[in-house]
Amino acid sequence: MNPDLAFALALADDADAITLPRFRAADLRVETKPDLTPVSEADRAAETAIRERLARERPGEPVLGEEDGGEDASGWILDPIDGTRNYTRGIPVWATLIAYADRVAVVSAPALGRRWWAVRGEGAFANGAPIRVSPIDRIEDATLLYALDRPVPSRAFDAWHLRGFGDFWAHMLVAEGSAEVAVDARGLAIWDTAPLSVILEEAGGRHEGCVSWNGRLDVSGLR
């Protein structure tokens, strides 16, 4: 196994060991950040644990994370909990996102029992099985997943199946071939998108900004 992937998977194990036991905890502490988004004690604890292990075992490598910042995206990129709103409300659609530059990615969703990963040039996997985007090439035959915190363009209603899924899961469903397009909220940060790009592209799809698709559809008018 690629050593960077093996290490990223180990970091995801560490994060899962922190986040899953606190999921649905009655005494979970949640605060509101200056940008008015929620952050839980589990978000902070998971990122701290990952950073501490990186400092011990990969000293000197840059780290950029949602909770503790950083500016250098040439090394490790962390989102300790993508989907914090879901996490704090007991909805199991949340995950830890880890990328190593633009080469290695892990998305771990322990409450769903799913984990996706990829290394550039080595394909994409979910729970150990190879994954591939779907071959559908007409929007009229496509399943389109759309974040509901933005207006839905009229062209989205041409899709065969339209559902309101956001965050990491929508993009991973495209990578698995269960959906053809995922349109997320605008203004995503690099820790939201870096792991998704590697996995989508290794599964044969594309990811640009807030949109993932199977690479076969015309997604103009959906961004």
Q: Is the dihedral of CA 183, 93, 42, 20 positive or negative?
A: negative
Residues pairing with 207 in the sheet: 212
Pairwise CA distance, residues 218 & 223, whole Å: 11
Long-range own/partner contacts, residues 27-35 (CB < 8 A, 24 or more apart): 28/88, 30/88
List of residues 6+ apart from 115 with CB closer than 8 A: 9, 12, 106, 107, 108, 109, 126, 127
CA pseudo-torsion sign 8, 199, 121, 194: negative
pLDDT attached to residue 69: 77
pLDDT of residue 68: 80
List the structure tokens of 110.
């322990």
Report the distance separating Cα 118 and Cα 203, nearest Å: 8
Give the angle 67-116-69 at the CA atoms, nearest 5°.
15
Q: What is the pLDDT of residues 147-179, one digit of tens each?
A: 876 677 777 888 888 888 878 999 999 999 999
Q: Shortest CA distance to 166 belongs to which of 151, 153, 154, 183?
A: 183
What's the pLDDT at 150? 66
Polymer length in residues for the chain: 223
Query: How many of the other CB atoms lie within 10 Å of CB of 83?
Result: 21
Q: How confident is the model at residue 141 (pLDDT cuts 50, 70, 90)?
A: very high
pLDDT at 13: 98
- Complete domains list, the chain, with CATH: 3-130 (3.30.540.10), 139-213 (3.40.190.80)
How many helices and strands in the chain, by DSSP H and E? 5, 14
Question: pLDDT exceeding 70 applies to what percent of the chain?
Answer: 99
pLDDT tens profile 31-45 = 998 988 899 999 999
Q: Is residue 97 predicted with pLDDT exceeding 90? A: yes
Using the predicted structure, report yes or no on whether residue 101 has a pLDDT greater than 70.
yes
pLDDT at residue 181 is higher than 90: yes
The Cα 143–Cα 192 span in angstroms is 22
